[in-house]
Amino acid sequence: MGLQRILAFTAVAAGCALLAFLPMSFLLKILLFIAVLVLFTFIITKAYSSSQPDDWSLAPDALPDAIIVTNMNGKLLFANKLAKDMFPDFATAGTTSELFDGFHNKLTDRSAADDVVAAALAAPDFQFTETLHFNDGQVFERITRIQQGENQRVWILRNISHLQQANHDNEMHTSMVEADAARTAELAEQLYLAKNELEAHQAELTRLANTDSLTSLYNRRRFTALGEEAVKNSTTQNLCVVMMDIDHFKRINDTYGHAAGDVAIRDFAALAKEAVGEAGFVGRMGGEEFAVVLEDTVLDDAIKIAETIRRTTAANVTLHEAEKFRFTISIGVACWFKGEITIEAALDRSDQALYSAKSFGRNRVVGYETASVA
């Protein structure tokens, strides 16, 4: 385009010089000069139009707003040039929380802005528009929304300081206060719902991690941990451990099926938990084996509780579909000795007593180094 302009100017200058020296009337010179100017205008217009791009689509770096894109977990994926200029540490920040942390330090009040970032991470469908007031007087509008179909979140930051300066009258101020109040209420409600949902999920995960899915009793890991706590907190030697095993459980499965065996395990778990009550806690150690820790209980009383479990189990009739059957339980009881650091030794002694109960004919209670009370 530069060369075309030079040639055009040269042609006009030459034409003007030629007109000055040619022997013709003044009117004819004027008409020829106008023709040269028209030709010059055409050449310049053609050169300018040919230099313009055919594609007028906007690139992200051409947008007037800062654009940041993350995945649904807050991991940074993309930022346009304006966003990178606004956040020099974009390349080293891994998440939106890290990226906005220093940014929020410049706000007059960062708590609401922090809550928005937290809500965006906690609730996938969260969308919000907020106004950010900086200590230096600048005002930004920040928008977060979901990129539908992309499983991504977009953050848009727009400097609206000039708009704020142009709207200082009381009516606009009142309107903004009301809008902020509505947004704050909306955010508070969404945060409350997100918090309740997270707490419910956490409670369910904790329950699943600590309980046996078939019986809802403590599982082996949680039972052992609670037993160690009981030993640690015990101020006396009055702590007993009870080990219990359903007699001939394989025969139940072989005769009535594994589903019936599951019903028998659930029945026994309910009977044992009711008999123990507030005296201690029950756990399923695996398969048909169960255990009890009895706090503030001497050996004789522990044997009585175990005998109650044995009697109610033997008297119980288990129902599964059209089948009715009974089963018995063998029980071993032992005490924890003060000075033992863990509950493992007491568990081992009660297991030995349980083995003795099995050896003596099953359906009985045996205390460690005591006679059967059956």
pLDDT value, residue 273? 96
pLDDT value, residue 163? 76
What six digits make up the tokens of 4? 């075309």
Assign a CATH topology to domain 60-197: Beta-Lactamase (3.30.450)
pLDDT value, residue 206? 73
Q: What does the DSSP assignment read for 162-215?
A: HHHHT--SHHHHHHHHHHHHHHHHHHHHHHHHHHHHHHHHHHHHHHHHHB-TTT
pLDDT value, residue 312? 97
pLDDT value, residue 134? 94
Q: What does the DSSP assignment read for 125-166?
A: T--EEEEEEBTTS-EEEEEEEEETTTTEEEEEEEE-HHHHHT
What six digits make up the tokens of 153? 């979140």
What kind of architecture, by CATH, is found in domain 220-367? 2-Layer Sandwich (3.30)
Sheet of 289-295: strand order equals 280-286, 289-295, 239-246, 329-335, 365-367
| Interatomic CA distance for residues 161 and 141, integer angstroms | 9
Give yes or no for a contact between 198 and 130, defined as CB atoms under 8 angstroms apart: no
pLDDT value, residue 83? 93
Q: What does the DSSP assignment read for 31-46?
A: HHHHHHHHHHHHHHHH
Q: Is the pTM of this model over 0.75?
A: no
- pLDDT less than 70: residues of the chain: 1-33, 35-58, 164-173, 204, 370-374
| Interatomic CA distance for residues 86 and 65, integer angstroms | 11
pLDDT value, residue 374? 41
Q: Computed from CA positions of residues 23, 27, 29, 32, in that sequence, does the dihedral angle turn out positive or negative?
A: negative
| Interatomic CA distance for residues 238 and 297, integer angstroms | 5
